[in-house]
Every structure is written in C-alpha cells, then in structure tokens.
C-alpha cells in the first residue's frame, strides 16, 4: 500500500464548488487500488514544503474569499513552484484557485490580486458571466484523446501566454475567455481549470491521471498504469453532462 499525500490549500476559504467531493473521489479511487490518501489542510499559517506532498489541491471561491487568501498564497509562490516544477508534484486548481495560480487576477471592482505565477496565465474580470455546461477535448498523454465534461460559472477572462498548453479545446461552452477556444492550463503535472460542478465524479479518467502522477512523485518512478474500475455510474454522469453541453449549440 502506498500513502498518497495531498496538500489541500485553504479548504476553509476556497471550498464552494464541490471541492471536498473531489477529494472524496481521490480517496475512494485510491482505496480501490489498495492505496491510502492522507489529506493535510494547508491554511494561512501553514508552510508549503517541497517534496512533502504528492498532490496539491486548490479549490474555488468567490472574489471575497480570493481576496482573503491571495496575498498569503502569493507569499508561498516560490516553495509551491519548487514543489511542482522542480519536484514534479501533481496539482489541480479549480476556478478561483486556477485564477490565483496564474500571475494574478483583477476582480470586477478593480481589485488586484497577486498570483503565484505557476501557470502561464493572467485573468481580468469581464462584464458578462460565463455560465453553463461545458465540454472539452483533451490529450494529456500523446495519442490518448479524452473528453472532459463539467460546469463553468465565472466572470474572469483568462489569457494564456503564447505557446503555452491549455487543458483542452472547447467543444461546447465558453472556456477561458469565450473567444480563444481554449480551457484551462497545464504545466507538467499541474492543471488549472474553470470546470467544476463537481469535476472528478463526472470525469474519472482525470482523477486517475492525477492519482498516477501523484504516485509517480511518491515513488520516484514513472506514472503507473492503474487497474481499471467499474465506472458505469461515472460514465453515465459524464454522458449526461456532455450531452447538456452539446445542446448549448456552440461556444457563444
């Protein structure tokens, strides 16, 4: 049995988009393979120690909660970047967490929130809220295309740096900005996305991809090929969400 160590950043503040449900998916899918999830809450007074955690999770919050944690999180930018970029830890950041993992977010009322600078992106609030079911095409591994279904609800317009990698291409929905056709961002084993609603119960393959990356960090080897699970309910949830997204009739 391998213990997968998860650092859950600011769970008391960034927790409005089924974030604890995503953690529960990690725990259950790890347990079914004989592994254990050890989750540590990393709050305002807790340091980030590179090498200590295999997977980091940053959830979603509204502008008020983001303002409360932004300065504190930015102060931990260097150890978090070292943990992910130098030590190859996995990371999932959702919605508000995604925005703060870029270089910064300017809120609807002009609030400038500093970012970590881990993801090559900047975000500025727009006038129109982008909300609804969304469907992506992703290729996290060469030659392996998958669809990702979820729900988006954000006013942020996120712009990726030229040449950087999105999480996926938008099939239906708005994505990062409603214009580029991209959604989310990816750097190595780190993923940022606006998709929630919740994300992982509808997309078991993404949960398993992140678990495999976390196991690789834990063991110092290559990401293992995880034993398939009976995912009939997960597949049905994904199909329903994907069909709702397709029924929107395009990105705009």
Question: What is the structure's pLDDT at 252?
Answer: 43
pLDDT at residue 197, as a whole number = 77
Three-state secondary structure readout of the chain: CCEEEEEEECCCCCCCCCHHHHHHHHHHHHHCCCCEEEEEEECCCCCCCCCCCCEEEECCCCHHHHHHHHHHHHCCHHHHHHHHHHCCCEEEEECHHHHHHCCEEECCCCCEEECCCCCCEEEEEEEEEEEEEEEEEEEEECCEEEEEEEEEEEEEEEEECCCCECCEEEEECCCCCCCCCEECEEECCEEEECCECCCHHHCHHHHHHHHHHHHHHHHCCCCCCCCCCCCHHHHHHHHHHHHHHHCCCCCC
Q: Which of 35, 154, 196, 217 is catalytic?
A: 196
138 is an active site residue: no
State the pTM of this model: 0.96
Res 250: pLDDT: 57
Catalytic residue among 8, 35, 53, 95: 95
Consecutive 10-residue runs of the chain (252 residues): their mean pLDDT? 96 82 95 97 98 96 87 97 98 96 91 96 94 96 95 96 97 96 98 92 97 97 96 96 86 48
3-246: in CATH 3.40.190.170: no
Q: What is the pLDDT of residue 61?
A: 83
């Amino acid at each position: 049995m391998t213990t997968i160590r998860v650092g859950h950043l600011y769970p008391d503040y960034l927790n409005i988009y089924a974030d604890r449900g995503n953690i529960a998916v990690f725990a259950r899918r790890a347990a079914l393979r004989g592994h254990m999830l050890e989750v540590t809450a990393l709050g305002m007074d807790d340091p980030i120690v590179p090498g200590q955690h295999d997977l980091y999770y940053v959830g979603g919050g509204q502008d008020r909660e983001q303002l409360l944690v932004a300065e504190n999180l930015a102060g931990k930018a260097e150890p978090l970047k070292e943990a992910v970029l130098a030590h190859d830890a996995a990371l999932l950041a959702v919605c508000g967490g995604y925005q703060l993992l870029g270089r910064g977010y300017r809120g609807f009322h002009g609030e400038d929130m500093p970012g970590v600078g881990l993801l090559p992106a900047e975000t500025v609030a727009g006038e129109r809220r982008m909300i609804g079911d969304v469907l992506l095409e992703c290729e996290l591994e060469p030659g392996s295309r998958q669809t990702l279904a979820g729900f988006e609800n954000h006013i942020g317009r996120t712009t990726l740096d030229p040449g950087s990698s999105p999480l996926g291409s938008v099939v239906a929905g708005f994505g990062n900005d409603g214009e580029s056709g991209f959604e989310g961002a990816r750097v190595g084993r780190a993923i940022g996305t606006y998709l929630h609603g919740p994300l992982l119960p509808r997309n078991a393959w993404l949960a398993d991809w992140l678990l495999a990356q976390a196991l690789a960090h834990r063991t110092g080897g290559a990401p293992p090929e995880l034993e398939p699970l009976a995912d009939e309910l997960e597949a049905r949830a994904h199909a329903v969400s994907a069909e709702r997204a397709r029924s929107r009739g395009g990105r705009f």
